[in-house]
Amino acid sequence: MSIATRGIVPILKQALAQNPGPMDLAVMAKPFETDTIAGEIDTLGWIGHIPGFRLAGEKNQNADLAQQKLDIRILDFRSSWRLKGSLVRNSKIGPILAEKSGEWGRRRIDLMNQLVADRVNNAETQLAYDGKSFYAPDHSVNNSGAINNDITSPAVSASAPTTHELSLAILAGLSQFFTFKDDQSLPLYRPMTVIDVTVNTAVVGKVAAAVGLNSIDTGAGSIDNPLLGLTRAMGITLRVKTNPLITIANTKIQLINASPGTAPFLLGENPAEKRVTELDETSDLFKNEDMYAFNAFWAGASAYGEFTDAVLVTLVNA
């Protein structure tokens, strides 16, 4: 009897449709579907920001399609595993196979996390859609003027900042979002409701304290956390996000806007290539080696999206 008739392949297919959880890196990326075949390039045109309203009769503004284009090479991935036929014939798999099927689906989410982690880790050198590094002091889109999403914040020791210094660094990053302008040189401020404060695992404890404590020690006494006024008054939720896949330096803090409508990173998936195959009792593998084999296929890629939805703060020695 084929394992497929026991409902295992449908379980595997369902597992591959799992959504990332709230602490996964993949949720920091805006998902999109592509029909581009693995190995080929999907080209996305980046649309300029919609201009603000003016009084009728004043000079009209037009939001033109930005000339920049984003080229994303779609990649092909595969996960394969095998199962002894004797375990199936003698009913030794019990609930384990269903559990492993769920774990198989988790591997796809791990892959998606890795693709987004690659964007986070290399954002200072890899290019955004305007041809500059994703974090750069001189981005521009049409008539925006200079857009700086790569700032510094002082600390007595950048490699060992105090909780107070970290709090001030995050505050500076939040304030930097207010300086951005759109492609018509109008203030571009998307209401910030959720910001992912993204750091590596080595510094996450200190950064979490800088975000979460009401009172922090400056070294010369305790004060109210400088972040509280802004976040509480404006309803901004700060989430500290880390993952062993994040390898940015200890002195780096990335503020990723996770509010509705933002797209700092992009994560594409080709649904036609998200599929499962089984080598069952009719296969040569089973006849020769008494083994079932299962294969999962996934095609997609990650890319940089809107650089005005992210700010890098680098701690520097005061």
| Residue 10, domain member (yes or no) | yes
Q: What's the pLDDT tens digit per position in 83-114?
A: 888 887 787 776 666 677 777 778 899 999 99
Helices assigned H by DSSP within the chain: 8-15, 85-89, 96-121, 163-176, 204-212, 226-234, 284-289
Q: Is the pLDDT of residue 35 over 70?
A: yes
Q: What is the mean pLDDT of the chain?
A: 88
Percent of the chain with pLDDT over 90: 55
19/104 same-domain check: yes
Overall number of domains in the chain: 2
Show Cβ contacts of residue 116 under 8 Å, excluding neighbours closer than 6 positions: 25, 26, 28, 29, 265, 267, 302
> In this structure, what CATH number is given to the domain that contains residue 212?
3.30.2320
Residue 4's pLDDT is what? 46
pLDDT, one tens digit per residue, over 254-271 is 999 999 989 999 999 999
Q: Specify the higher pLDDT residue, 301 or 62.
A: 301
pLDDT at 5 over 50: no
Indicate whether 67 pLDDT > 70: no
User: What pLDDT is attached to residue 109?
Assistant: 92
Q: Are residues 184 and 313 in the same domain?
A: yes
Q: Which domain, by its residues, includes 209?
A: 150-264+306-317
Is 155 in the same domain as 258? yes
Tokens of 123: 């954002």
Percent of the chain with pLDDT over 70: 90
Spatial contact of 216 and 225, defined as CB atoms under 8 Å apart: yes
Q: Would you tell me the crossing angle of helices 8-15 and 96-121 to the nearest 10 degrees?
A: 20
Average pLDDT over residues 235-242: 95
Domain co-membership, 228 together with 296: no
Same domain? 194 vs 292: no
Residue 166 clears pLDDT 80, i.e. is over it: yes
pLDDT for res 230:
86
CATH of residue 18's domain is 3.30.2400
Crossing angle of helices 226-234 and 163-176, in 10° steps, is: 40
Tally the residues of the chain.
318
Answer yes or no: do 223 and 282 share one domain: no
User: Which range (95-109, 164-178, 198-212, 256-270) has the least confidence?
Assistant: 95-109
Domain identity same for 271 and 281: yes
Alpha-carbon distance 129 to 177, whole Å? 19
- Contact criterion met (CB below 8 Å) for 164 and 225: no
- Residue 184: pLDDT over 90: no
Asked whether residue 106 falls in the same domain as residue 225, the answer is no
Residue 141 falls inside a structural domain = no
The pLDDT confidence band at residue 283, using thresholds 50, 70 and 90, is very high
Looking at the structure, tell me whether residues 310 and 214 fall in a common domain. Answer: yes
Is residue 97 one of the residues assigned to a domain? Answer: yes
Is pLDDT larger for residue 181 or for residue 203? Answer: 203
